[in-house]
Amino acid sequence: MEPYYWDSQIEYLKKSAALYYNDDYIEFLINRVWKIDRPVRIVDFGCGFGHLGLRLLPILPLGSEYIGIDAGINLIEHAREIFRSLPYHTEFLVADFNTISFEEEFDLAVCHGVLLHMEDPMSTLKRMIASVKNEGKVIAFEPHWIGNNASFHFDGVDQSTVIPLGQLQELFERDLKRTGKDGNIGLKLPLYFSRLGLRDVQCRVSDKVNIYDPTAAGDAGVYEAMKFSNPGERSTFIKNLLERGMSMEQANRQYECEKTLSEIFTPSTAATYAAGMKITFGTVYRMILAEGSSPA
């Protein structure tokens, strides 16, 4: 059995999580938009180390419960360790959320950065819907990759020299056709939610803008979360892109862009980044038959 990839990415997941949200915006959603004023039971599909639990539980009404599901043994153990000393009702399960079944047990079903990795995200969404009680909510925090890539600014750098948006968009679109996995799913989810029968569907955009300015005692944590890895050995990198449908010219350009970006974005480079995470939500309404009646 192959190692579960995300089990080896815990530190990356913890660093990157800081880029996505302001806690006051999450509080606004809970109190003013979702209007959650009583304890709720939450199931998190693909919970990782429990990031959404850490975001939501301090703001939700006292007594709320959080159940996290992930296939990563290391991730679940790390989540249990984090929450062991926290005053919340939590449970973490090592399982494939695409095979486990819940029937109308939860007030909220949530996921974060999960659907973009699914070959059949609609199937996952159907399981999330099935897990929620009548008038409960399904909430998906998912990215729009090309929007993310367009939302960097590196001081003193022409952005097109390090992030070639046109060929990246083509790459993402080809990947979707080839694998079913969609890094641009965030802006499509409102339509998917509606087509699956959810009601009162809305989509919001996280208001977090990350600012790294070394001349003003910049936050080293922001830099560490934003910094880019060197693309590594050239021939291997280009071979992968050719297999994904890029031309040789495009693949070479992509390599040079990523190599340049890994070199120019140093602790002395000012930068801003608006991840613009898309937060889509809808309400489950099921037909409730009166006692003694039968379906038509």
Considering its fold, how many domains does the chain have in total? Answer: 1
**Which ranges constitute the DSSP H helices of 40-162?**
51-56, 73-84, 121-130, 145-149
CA 175 to CA 206: how far, in whole Å? 26
pLDDT the model gives residue 293 = 47
**Is residue 194 predicted with pLDDT exceeding 90?**
yes
CA 13 to CA 81: how far, in whole Å? 16
pLDDT the model gives residue 221 = 87
Residue 260 included in any domain: no
Residue 170 included in any domain: no
Mean pLDDT of the region 219-243: 93
Q: Give the global pTM.
A: 0.93
The two structure tokens encoding residue 72: 């990563």
DSSP element (H, E) containing 110: strand 106-112
Share of the chain above pLDDT 90, in %: 86
80: CATH: 3.40.50.150
Domain range for 34: 1-144+183-208+274-296
Residue 67 included in any domain: yes
Mean pLDDT of the region 250-279: 96
**Is residue 191 predicted with pLDDT exceeding 70?**
yes
Residue 156 included in any domain: no
**Beta partners for residue 139, in sequence order:** 110, 281
Residue 231 included in any domain: no
Residue 66 included in any domain: yes
Q: What is the pLDDT of residues 59-108, one digit of tens each?
A: 999 999 999 999 999 999 999 999 999 999 999 999 999 998 899 999 99
Confidence at 295, pLDDT banded by 50, 70, 90: very low
Mean pLDDT of the region 202-223: 89
Residue 1 included in any domain: yes
From residue 3, alpha-carbon distances to 50, 68, 72, 99 in Å are 20, 20, 9, 19
pLDDT the model gives residue 2 = 66
Q: What is the pLDDT of residues 118-150, one digit of tens each?
A: 999 999 999 999 999 999 999 999 999 999 999
**Is residue 296 predicted with pLDDT exceeding 70?**
no
**Is residue 6 predicted with pLDDT exceeding 90?**
no
**Which ranges constitute the DSSP H helices of 29-155?**
51-56, 73-84, 121-130, 145-149
Residue 229 included in any domain: no
Higher pLDDT, 153 or 7: 153
**Is residue 20 predicted with pLDDT exceeding 50?**
yes
**Beta partners for residue 111, in sequence order:** 45, 140
pLDDT the model gives residue 172 = 97
The two structure tokens encoding residue 11: 């530190």
Query: What are residue 240's phi and psi, to 5 degrees?
Result: -60, -45
